Structure formats: C-alpha cells, structure tokens
Chain A
C-alpha cells in the first residue's frame, strides 16, 4: 500500500518504478559513454587536420621552382639534371612570354581609354604569371627572395593557374548586395594576341612547372630563407632542443633531491606539509606569470644575461616543470618495495648509501618517466619564453651563444607565423609543418613515458 500511494501521489514517484529506474540507469550509461566518445572524437578532430596538412610540409608535389630553390639556396641536387630540366621548362614557357611580348607591342598601338584598361588587365595577368614562374624575362631581379622564384608547390601553382584562367570582379548591379563574380579571363583579351594563351596554358601548364613528388625531410634541417617562404625550420628545432635541455638540466637535480627528501627523510611535520602545499602552489601558477617572473627576476634583477637568452628561458621553464619532476620522482621512490630498503639497511649500509645505490636505481624508470613528461611540457610551453627567450627570426645558435642570445623556438614561431607574419596565408604549409613537428616531438616523448610506465607496472606486479 505504502509504495503504491507514493508512486501515485508524488510526481517523483515515477522515478521509483523499476522500469523507469532501469531506463534512467541506461540513459546515464549512454551519457557516460557519450562523454568518453566526445573526448576521443575531439582528439581525432584536433589531430587529423594537423597531421594530414603537417605531413604536407614534408611530402608534397614540388615544382621545378622547388628544385631550383633547393639547388641555389641550399646547394643540393645535381646541376646537370637540373639544368636539363630548366631548359625544357624554359622551352615550354617561352611561348607564354612571346605572347606577352607581342601583346605589349600591340598595346602600344592602342589609344586612350582602351589602352589604359588593357594595361591594367595586363598588369594583373603579369602579376599572376610572376607569382607562378618567378621573374619574367627582361625584368630586373627583385630584392626579396620570395619574388625571385615562382610557386614551389604544385597545389599553390594550380591555384594561381585557376586565377589566371578565371578572373574575379565585384558586381555592383544590386547596390544592396555587391558580390564577387567569376568569369573567364579569356573574355578580357578577346581578339588580341594574348587570346591563344588561354588555349596554350591548360595544355602545357604541367610542362611549365614539372611537378614531382618530393620527400622534403630536410625541412627539419634547413634554415629558413626570407622569413619562412622557403626552406625549413632548423633554427626553431634547435632552439626548442636547447630550451628543453636547459630546463631539464636545471630542474632534474633539484627535483630529484627534493623528492628523495620528501619520500625518505621528511616526517609528518607541519613544515613538511607546508612545503608540499607550496609545491602544489608552484604547480598551479599560470604559465604567463612564470614568464613575467623570468623577466623581472632573471633579466632585470639578477642580470643572468643582458637581454632574453636561452639560459634565462631554460631557467624559467625549469621552475615550471619542477613540481612535475618532484611529484613523479617521489611517487617512483615510494613505489620501490620496502624489502629493498630493509635488506640494504640490514646489511649495514647507511641511509644515504641505501638511497644512492639501492633506492634510486630501482626508482630510475619511474623518475625517467617524470623527466620525459616534463621534457614534453617544456618543449611545448610558449608563454614562459615570450619575454625570456624567444625571437621570431634568428640563426641557429652555437652552444656558447645560448648563454647570452635569444633563439627562435617552435612554439613561439608557430604563434608568430600564424598571427604576425606578413603573408600568413601563403606559408600555411610551414605553419602546419611546425605544429605537426612540435606535436610529434611531444607525443613521442609522452608515448615513450606511457610505455615506460606500463613496463614498470608490469614489473612491480611481477
């Protein structure tokens, strides 16, 4: 009777029915699975475009211009083969240039408005051709390197090709909504000596660029030319490696010693719990604050170096990863079976001796795991190095220069290239390549750590 009335009298009563309870239970389970699913999907959505387009920096269809850049700027490639190819390309391009020339003479005979109109159109077309093929014959070599070469990537070249074939203009016929309309560029040059160009180019375009699949692994080892328009990301890679190594070198000794103290010596005193809570606090400090601290303390107060430098950046990053290393090492030390320690002590070894020659070796894999994870963190952090170590453009540093000079670094240059660079859109492949490389480095470190940890767990379980 009691349960029956409860079910009927209260609105919440329906929640007591077994059927409904089961349904609620199932829907909760579905939400549970959905949240895990969402997380996995988020990871895939995040990584997929970065991996796919990032690989595009290493593997792509490169045109003859790419091989030319590589040969002239980085002295790689066989000159006789390249020369042969260049001759063939020249032959394929020559008709285009001839048509341009004959049109220019034709233009001289035109007069008034028509001439001006045509001149503008020619300028636009020439600009596009210049983008595609580099310097046009008879023109002076431009100062900027990016203008000396045409499109190095087949995909970009095809885009320019489409722009050449299809012109765009704004249609203002409806004053409310002006819109962009596309029309064949051929229409512009109807009846002139340039018209055959629009037949010739689709036929021979491939011959004028000669695309070929390129494995550009030197992307990692080449310096960048002309603000990342050509070349690779070596200075950034080297800077990241320096910063990471400095951070680890500073943080590991202090971190492991602190962990030894906390695990082996510290009692349950007030001071120790205060220390622990300071370590937690340090872990919670926002990364940008570390950057400001590095600027205010290491550069302005201690004057570790005159300006930003790798040394200062490394020291700042070390503060950031210190708590991680302490925690991981302490956990590793605590995980060492008591018997090891007791056996060593009962053999008459002192406590220090026991720690150095028994406990630390046994805890080493665990400590290494912590160090590897911290390396990943230090390599990827941007905010702390903005004011302490990073510059946008720089040469790869020698080891001694790291004490006084700033360096480009992967995370900072990713930010810089996709926000502050003058031609953000035309160097997308470099940006994606950098992000991909950084993620690959960080994930490799972390996956190593995951495997290491799995092995330790297995070993501890026996």
Chain B
C-alpha cells in the first residue's frame, strides 16, 4: 500500500517533469514565428541601412527621378511611393463599399441556404493565385480597356447613376410634397418637380457619360486596371472579416432595434454597423494591406512607369509601385550586391514592412476594442 503510494508519487513527479519539458519544447517551437518576424526585420534592415548611409534620406523621399542604373544613379522614389498609394486608394474605393455591403448581405439579408452558395464564391476569389489575376489584367482586361475602355466607362456611368437619379428624384418629390401646404398646388408642383428632376438628372448623367466616352486610354496597363483587379482581390478579406464582426454583434441588439420599429436598413446602418465599427475598420485595413503588398498584379499590369500622373488623380496613366519595383529591379541589382542599387530595394521592402506592421497593430487594436465593446454591451 505504502509502496504503491511512493511509486505513484514518483510517477507523478516524473509526469510533471515531462509535462514541464513538453511545455518548454512546445513553447520554443511556437516562438519560432516570433523569431522569424524578428529575423525578417533584422535582415531587411541590415541590407536597407547601407542605402541610407550611402545616399541619405532626402533624395529617396523627395525626388521623383528614378534612374538606379544611370550614371550617376538617381534614387528618387517619391513617384513610386505615390504609385503604391494611388493604386491602394483605387483598390479600396472598389473594395470597401462593395465589401461592406456584401458583408451586410451575408450577415443580415441572405437566408442560410443561399449563404452556403455564396460563401464558396468568396473563398474561390480569395484562393485564386495572384499571378492568375495579373494574367487576367494584362492579357484580357488591358486590351479591352485600351480599345473599348471609354465606351464601357460611359455605359458603366449610366448603369450606376440611373437608379441613384431615380431615387433622388423621388425624394425630391417627397421633399416638395412636404413643404407646400396648399392641397391643389401641392400635387401639381410635386409631379412637375419629379419630372423636371428626372429630366435634369438625365442631362447630367449623359454629360458625365459622354465625358467618360470622350476619354482616350493610351495604354490598357494603367492605375485603373490595377485598382479594379486589386479591389477584387481585397474583397474576400474585407467581406469575411467584416461579416465576422457583424455576426458577433448578436441578436439582442438587432431585435431591440426591430422592436422599436426600425427597418432593416436603419437597423444595419444605425445599430449593427456602429456596434461592429472596430471590426469593420480591422477588415478594411487587412484588405488594404493585401492591396499594398500585392506584387504580381501591379508588376504585370500597372505599366511600371515611375512618374506621378498628370494630373495627380489621373487613373488612366501608368504608375509604378514599391512591390513591382522590388520584383522588377532585383534581377539586375542582385549582380551588384553592395551597390546602392541593391540596397535601395531593401529600403523599399523595409518601408513596406513598416507599413504592414503599423496597419497590423491598428487592426489588432481595433479587433480587441470591438471585442471588449461588444462584451461590455451584451452583458
């Protein structure tokens, strides 16, 4: 009896030791991710710093002349930074509204069965390799944009603006209706307003449409092309992360809102989205990050011209981004290791890394905040 107790005690101790060892071993392996991140920073910075030592900061950030192979070489990367910014902004203009509306649709509108069909679409969009997107942008979209682009923009303007115009005219009619007291006068005026408004809007739309049709697209590989494709690539991230955020808002809040007589749109926009706002911010940041860090699409379809477009919002002109520059110039620069030409690419990578770290921190903070907020509200 006593023996077995001792044995079990020893076994217990052994077991505890084994568990402790296992814990330590597992922890070491788990820390690998941390070590990798630190190594990435260290090694990118190690090769990036010589550039700043050799060439200084000023030219890199303020000049737009990028001739790394020239004599003397010039390393003005401002246009490249601007290209990245422009393409990212363009992508978020496509992806953010669409993504949030789609997420709302998934979380609040569609019935369960339909959702099961839609979700794989998002997963497939997310899974497609970036080089396939780039191939599509370069081989299929670019020629179409170059030959038939303006006409398509014109059609797109009609398709997008006509429903909006009808709705606006209808509300204008309502507004006039509510402002005039005289019963007889009111009916006539509101109908006249309605017709006039529709007419006016159509004139405006046809102006806008003909403006688009009159544009000339010099090259199909431009910022617009890339923005569209990057927007579609960023969509799945934005949709799935913000859908999670919207779902985690919980039924009670929604039910309370409906009980007060709110419509679904009011519930979504005034209750659910504000409650999930931090999560949606995180979603947007993650989506935008995908656009900044994307290489193949911009390398293949952005035109790779290191200049700030004229005027600066001209999405039809070619641009060049950080990622594409790294990918494109390393082939030649790798032969001259140690030259500023080689290190400047690491400086760009370091900039990318910093951007991604900062946005990651912000998004993590946003997610944490939203979790805390929702927990606080539901309890």
Contacts and interface: CB of A to CB of B under 8 A. Distances in A.
B96 to A, nearest CB: 11
Nearest to B292: A286
Given A322-B33, A382-B129, A301 B136 contact: no
A42 B264 contact: no
A36 B263 contact: no
A419 B301 CA distance: 10
Interface in A273-320: 274-275, 277-282, 284-293, 295-297, 300-301, 319
A319 B99 CA distance: 29
Contact of A23 (B22, B170, B352, B356): B170
A262 B235 CA distance: 30
B23 A43 contact: no
B44 A439 contact: no
Interface stretch (B35-43, B62-70, B204-212, B370-378): B35-43
Contacts of A350: 15, 18-19
Interface in B353-373: 353, 356-357, 359-360, 364
A25 B263 contact: yes
Given A33-B109, A36-B118, A414-B131, A254 B102 contact: no
A13 B327 CA distance: 56
Nearest to B232: A42
B102 A415 contact: no
A78 to B, nearest CB: 37
A352 B353 contact: no
B339 interface: no
B133 interface: yes
Contacts of B109: 29, 32-33
Given A285-B40, A293-B40, A350-B15, A32 B127 contact: no
Instruction: Find the residue from B106, B127, B170 having the highest chain A CB count within 10 A.
Output: B127
Contacts of B132: 46, 50, 380, 414, 435, 438-439
Interface stretch (A14-22, A67-75, A124-132, A213-221): A14-22
B29 interface: yes
Interface string B101-123: 11011100110000000101111
B87 interface: no
Given A32-B105, A280-B364, A14 B174 contact: yes
Contacts of A442: 127-129
Contacts of B127: 373, 376-377, 380, 442-443, 446
A265 B263 contact: no
B359 A292 contact: no
Given A296-B346, A350-B15, A286 B98 contact: no
A446 B46 CA distance: 38
B4 interface: no
B76 interface: no
A31 interface: yes
B323 interface: yes
A280 B360 contact: yes
B58 interface: no
A258 B174 contact: no
B171 interface: yes
A387 B286 CA distance: 26
Nearest to B359: A284
Interface in B3-54: 15, 18-19, 22-23, 26-27, 29-34, 36-37, 39-40, 43-44, 46-47
Interface in A6-40: 7-8, 11, 13-14, 17, 19-25, 27-36, 38-40
A278 B33 contact: yes
Given A352-B22, A379-B129, A279 B136 contact: no
B232 A438 contact: no
Nearest to B267: A25
Given A289-B352, A438-B129, A35 B265 contact: no
A145 to B, nearest CB: 25
B292 A257 contact: no
A243 interface: no
Contact of B102 (A27, A32, A326): A32
Instruction: Find the residue from B18, B32, B140, B346 having the highest chain A CB count within 10 A.
Output: B32
Contact of B33 (A258, A266, A412): A258
B135 A288 contact: no
Contacts of B346: 292, 296
B265 A29 contact: yes
Contact of B98 (A19, A24, A39, A351): A39
A211 interface: no
Q: Is the interface of B mostly helix, strand, loop or mixed?
A: helix
B334 interface: yes
A55 interface: no
B255 interface: no
A39 B135 contact: no
A38 to B, nearest CB: 6
B346 to A, nearest CB: 6
A215 B349 CA distance: 46
A296 B134 CA distance: 26
A8 B32 CA distance: 66
A286 B129 contact: no
A443 B91 CA distance: 24
A406 interface: no
A323 interface: yes
A380 B29 contact: no
B42 to A, nearest CB: 9
B138 interface: yes
Given A25-B266, A46-B136, A265-B23, A278 B37 contact: yes
Contacts of B294: 286-287
B157 interface: no
A260 B139 CA distance: 45
A257 B26 contact: yes
Given A258-B32, A286-B356, A379-B129, A27 B167 contact: yes
Given A8-B179, A285-B356, A286-B293, 4 more contacts: A39-B121, A42-B232, A257-B30, A261-B26
Interface of A: 7-8, 11, 13-14, 17, 19-25, 27-36, 38-40, 42-43, 46, 49-50, 254, 257-258, 260-262, 265-266, 274-275, 277-282, 284-293, 295-297, 300-301, 319, 322-323, 326, 350-352, 373, 376-377, 379-383, 386-387, 411-412, 414-415, 418-419, 428, 431, 435, 438-439, 442-443, 446-447, 450
20 contacts: A22-B263, A33-B105, A261-B30, A277-B360, A280-B364, A284-B293, A284-B360, A286-B295, A287-B130, A287-B295, A289-B44, A292-B346, A292-B349, A295-B334, A380-B132, A383-B323, A415-B296, A435-B131, A438-B129, A439-B132
Interface of B: 15, 18-19, 22-23, 26-27, 29-34, 36-37, 39-40, 43-44, 46-47, 97-99, 101-102, 104-106, 109-110, 118, 120-125, 127-136, 138-140, 163, 167, 170-171, 174-175, 178-179, 232, 235, 239, 263-266, 268-269, 286, 289, 292-296, 299-300, 323, 326-327, 330, 334, 337, 345-346, 349, 352-353, 356-357, 359-360, 364
